[in-house]
Structure 1
Amino acid sequence: MKTWIKLALLSASLAFGSAAAQSQNKAPAWQLLPQQDLLYLDTDQGTVVILLASQFAPRHVERVKQLTKAGFYDGVSFYRVIEGFVAQFGVPEHEWGKRAQLEPMKAEFSWPVRSGDDYLLVQKPDLLAEETGFNQGFAVAREKGQEWLVHCAGVVNLARANEPDTGVADLAIMMGQAPRHLDKNMSALGKVVWGQSVLNRIRRGDAEQGGVIATAAQRTTIKTARLGSDLANDRQLPLEWMSTSSSEFAQGLAERRSRTHVFYQHKGNGNLDVCYPQVPVRLAKAPTP
């Protein structure tokens, strides 16, 4: 395994602690991510893997899966990239050419809170909502019986025009500081779980030009896009992430909130931004023969 991967996994392990929280929650600490919900982007800078959130944006995820299987994203590029904000890929409108026109999507900005979901409260009240927490691994906000995905770094949404129901096919990955102003204004449909370092290498546009990179030759290209379930076994990454319903994850939140380590001279006020504690992801260990 590459050194940077080992360091990243070690960092995640130390950050969240090895001791289990004193909790009644018995959820397994690590959960294998389903290959049918993993979107692999093979770019000219490396591989990025997106976990699609079909439980929250089912129509959008179905559209992305259909387009992926049809080869729509093969050969497209990151044509709008703004440092510290967004990396958008797909086909600019003026370059559609012979590609079939698609019907715009009905927005999936939010949905009713479901009492049966595994939800872990993080902050109440939140700066921009009544409360925030984690639902099945995703950072969410809740208010007045509605829930939505929070635009933390790595979250993916469907690009659109000014009108709400105008998203078609292009996807945008959040980078840098969390653009919370997009919460409940964009249809978020997943998050990057692998290859964040690849995003650091994609070519940027000029912020004064809206981040748009004028010519295809200057852009970072997605050579192929595939669902993990359509890849050969030896090309699948056995990714797993820490369950946000586990006592280990809850312990990690408690440690970040209280800052009990001797390093911290200022202990804070106990508040915690839901975008700060990223959910650890690692390659699953091979079973012992």
Structure 2
Amino acid sequence: MWIRPVAALALVVAAPGFAQGQAAAPVAAPSSAPSPAQIVAAAPAADWVAIAADQLLVMDLAPGRDRAARRVVIQLLPAPWSQGWVGNIRKLAAAHWWDGTAINRVQDGYVVQWGDPFAEDKARARALPAGLQSVPQSAYTLAAGAAPRLEGPRLTDGIYAASGRFYQGWPIAAGSGASPETWPVHCYGTVGVGRDMPPDSGTGAELYAVIGDAPRQLDRNIAVVGRVISGMEWLSSLPRGKGEMGFYRQGKERTPIVRVRLGSEVPGLPMWQYLSTSSDSFARYVDARANRRDPFYIRPAGGVDICNAPVPIRPKP
């Protein structure tokens, strides 16, 4: 089950205070204006939300040539989006199914993908755990009545969705009309479910992480199930595959996966926090990303790509 490559496109969304398509007038940058990083650093402790260990998926790769440990930590998407696939992923991790599998594909500017190297060979493929759901394509989105109320700044989107907002620290797109659908979006570091041709939607056994420009054209076509919050450097720096779509041609080129566990199974795992997307600090952070007023900038852009306003995540102090 492999996702197929498509050209990545940019999404530009208008920030609060700017109508879609309205150009920002040149403004001198006052030296006292805080940068986004300064706003995040000044956010009070009450604006930070802990990420529970059972929301994390911990993947340990085989050490590289320098023998350094290579750990990748993935935060799983919260309910109600993609929960059929997320439930399958939890079962796969509990069964230690990924232990001894590999990273099989690294396509430059696009994705890193991992799972069973022999998934398409019925004679050699490893058996999946019992009880995995078959999730329908309709689950890529949620109807308005099934989705919780979104929060944070409303970003106007004229390309892939009518608008974008946030929910519990996650970027969520919304359609138009009286009862718009909502769906999680593909940004740098997003983790999704590899699949074969429709109507197959994947089980969650094959996963990928975005290592290039946000491939938003994949939204509503493939399930988003999480995001990398630590160890992204281990994935983005892997050797690129020379085969079609970035697959490795030889087994020795693959990076072995030693183990994958839910965070609640990993002793001594550090904890992380995200900046609450309903907080005033986050609203000021997004505005500062859209309208840079700190000394380096000459004029504000008047808008920000929803993937270029990443929700700040930090280790718990």
TM-score band, normalised by shorter chain: 0.7 to 0.9
Matches within 5 A, 1:34-73: 34-45=52-63, 46-55=70-79, 56-73=81-98
Q: In the alignment, what sits opposite 1:100? A: 127
1:209 aligned partner, one-letter code: E
Identity %: 30
Match of 1:204, SS state, is: coil
Matches within 5 A, 1:73-92: 73-92=98-117
**Counterparts in 2 of 1:85 and 1:15: CA distance versus 1, 3 Å:** farther
Match of 1:84, SS state, is: coil
Matches within 5 A, 1:1-289: 13-14=37-38, 16=40, 18=42, 28-45=46-63, 46-55=70-79, 56-92=81-117, 93-95=119-121, 97=124, 99-100=126-127, 104-107=134-137, 108-113=139-144, 116-144=148-176, 145-168=180-203, 169-206=205-242, 209-232=244-267, 234=268, 236-268=269-301, 270-285=302-317
Alpha-carbon offset, residue 116 of structure 1: 4.2
Q: Report which stretch shifted further, 100-109 or 11-20.
A: 11-20
**Counterparts in 2 of 1:157 and 1:19: CA distance versus 1, 3 Å:** closer
Alpha-carbon offset, residue 106 of structure 1: 2.3
Q: Does the 8 A contact of 2:150 with 2:165 survive in 1?
A: no
Q: Does the 8 A contact of 2:36 with 2:289 survive in 1?
A: no
Q: Using structure 1 for the length normalisation, give the TM-score.
A: 0.84
Q: How far apart are the structure 1 equivalents of 2:172 and 2:150?
A: 12
**Counterparts in 2 of 1:69 and 1:17: CA distance versus 1, 3 Å:** closer
Alpha-carbon offset, residue 74 of structure 1: 0.7
Alpha-carbon offset, residue 241 of structure 1: 1.5
Q: How far apart are the structure 1 equivalents of 2:147 and 2:76?
A: 22
Query: Over the residues paired in the alignment, what is the CA RMSD in angstroms?
Result: 2.2
Question: Which consecutive residues of structure 2, in runs of 5 or more, have no partner in the other structure?
Answer: 1-34, 64-69
Query: Where has structure 1 moved over 4 Å in runs of 4 or more?
Result: 101-104
Alpha-carbon offset, residue 272 of structure 1: 1.3
Q: Report which stretch shifted further, 115-124 or 70-79.
A: 115-124
Q: Using structure 2 for the length normalisation, give the TM-score.
A: 0.77
**Counterparts in 2 of 1:64 and 1:53: CA distance versus 1, 3 Å:** same
Question: Which consecutive residues of structure 1, in runs of 5 or more, have no partner in the other structure?
Answer: 1-10, 21-26
Provide, for residues 39-70 of structure 1, a one-character-per-residue CA deviation record: whole Å limited to 9, x for no partner: 00011251111111141111111100001111
Alpha-carbon offset, residue 115 of structure 1: 6.5
Provide, for residues 210-238 of structure 1, a one-character-per-residue CA deviation record: whole Å limited to 9, x for no partner: 11112222111211000011122x2x121
